[in-house]
Amino acid sequence: MTCIDRRDVGLLLIRLGIGGVLAAHGTQKLFGWFGGGGIEGTGRFMESVGYRPGRASATAAGLAEAGGGALLALGLATPAAGAAAAGAMTGATAVNAPSGFFAQAGGYEHAAFLGLTAASLAIAGPGRLSVDALFGHAVNRAWMVPAAFAVTAAATALVVGARNKQVREPSEGEQEALFEQ
């Protein structure tokens, strides 16, 4: 019998807090809960900030946040859950970066904190008070951490890169207006 120690209790509290916040953010996007826009409203927002197609982007972000957050809270598939949530928060950070660091001014502080904490949990593991521990860490193996981060990093780089290109390039109508000046 392994003894539960304060590290396990601390990891549980961090997982419940970060996982709960991420899950709530994701359900705002997916279902419109907690004052969110749902898929339609979030999709329009995603389009406006350069993530196209907006509806697919809203769905992907919502699933990564809600799913990753719920799995982190449970301590299940911790490497994949943490990496997915960190990837989603990297996308949010890209949108907020022009406003600086502090969330008060619209900056990326909150998204970066959530992403870094989710990534840290993926690396540290869920502790003994988790579903992963209950199932013998079947989906929380050491090799899964770099694999989850490699897949997430590749997908995030493609999505954020396409978004950044979209934001930098003027639309066809804007190009015509510039040409006429």
DSSP string, 37-48: -HHHHHHHHHHH
Instruction: Decide if pLDDT at 1 tops 80.
Output: no
- The stretches of 6-143 forming alpha helices (DSSP H) are 6-31, 38-48, 54-74, 78-96, 109-124, 131-134
Q: Using CA of residue 146, residue 12, residue 9, residue 138, what is the dihedral sign?
A: negative
63: alpha, beta or left? (left if phi > 0; alpha if psi -120 to 50): alpha
Flag the least confident range among 29-43, 143-157, 160-174.
Answer: 160-174
DSSP secondary-structure letter at 170?
A: P
pLDDT classification of 75: cutoffs 50, 70, 90? very high
Contacts of 94 (CB under 8 A, 6+ apart): 160, 163, 164
Report yes or no on whether pTM surpasses 0.85.
yes
Chain segment 81-100, per-residue pLDDT in tens: 999 999 999 999 999 999 99
